Amino acid sequence: GAGVSQSPRYKVAKRGQDVALRCDPISGHVSLFWYQQALGQGPEFLTYFQNEAQLDKSGLPSDRFFAERPEGSVSTLKIQRTQQEDSAVYLCASSLSGRSGNTIYFGEGSWLTVV
Amino acid sequence: AQSVSQHNHHVILSEAASLELGCNYSYGGTVNLFWYVQYPGQHLQLLLKYFSGDPLVKGIKGFEAEFIKSKFSFNLRKPSVQWSDTAEYFCAVNEGTYKYIFGTGTRLKVLA
């Protein structure tokens, strides 16, 4: 597609519920990133994929967070047993390669509210 | 740890006023620097970037930024803002890896 596509755009989850957020990167982009943006904050790094390999998951806040990109294209961020502090915008981004300084292109984000 | 500071959290300007948004980072090595903009209801978009060379970088929509290595700064400027520049602006640093560190953002409101 023309840009990074994320779904759902908005999700309200009850505390304790599992959620799955989908990212469809720009076609041909090798690198894929997930960021978390809390209200009034800048995006914070969660995890990085190069093709299907998850090379860095150091930013995932807890073991309730899990990301995958099994075929090196679409990625899913899963949050198990959601908590109120998980409420944030989850941003997916992709870039042509993992080389430093490559421009990364962001999706519109998935707004998660945990009630 | 590496960090990015944007000291102006909210800025309100009248149309045609000049703009300067501050950005300072805390990494002493080689860095790549970026400004991203997020218009209301839209995704983050790249405004401009600095990798090397001329420290004065020109971006889209009349924006420019100057990299001052001695001050660890990468301030964003525009000589004359328009109402359509109302948005949130994020400074970001990449230290030579895939990881980007973002500032907390500056919300700019331009009054018509």
B59-91 residue pLDDT tens: 999 999 999 999 999 999 999 999 999 999 999
Q: What average pLDDT does this structure show over A73-102?
A: 91
Question: For strand A110-114 and strand A10-13, is the pairing parallel, antiparallel, or unpaired?
Answer: parallel
pLDDT at A1: 52
The H or E element spanning position A33 is strand A31-37
Among A91, A103, A106, the residue to mutate for chain B (most B Cβ within 10 A): A106
Q: What average pLDDT does this structure show over A89-108?
A: 87
DSSP A101: T
Q: B29 — contact with chain A (CB < 8 Å)?
A: no
pLDDT at B52: 87
CA distance A36 to A92: 9
CA distance A95 to A29: 5
pLDDT at B58: 95
With b meaning 16 or more CB within 10 Å and e meaning fewer, what string describes A54-83?
bebeebbeeeebbbebeeebebebebeebe
DSSP B82: -
CA distance A70 to A53: 8
Q: Which residue of A has its CA nearest to B104?
A: A42
What tens digit of pLDDT does each residue of B38-62 get? 998 888 999 999 988 999 999 999 9
CA distance B48 to B58: 7
The more confidently predicted of residues A54 and B42 is A54
Q: Which residue of B has its CA nearest to A46?
A: B99
pLDDT at A101: 66
Q: What average pLDDT does this structure show over B16-29?
A: 92
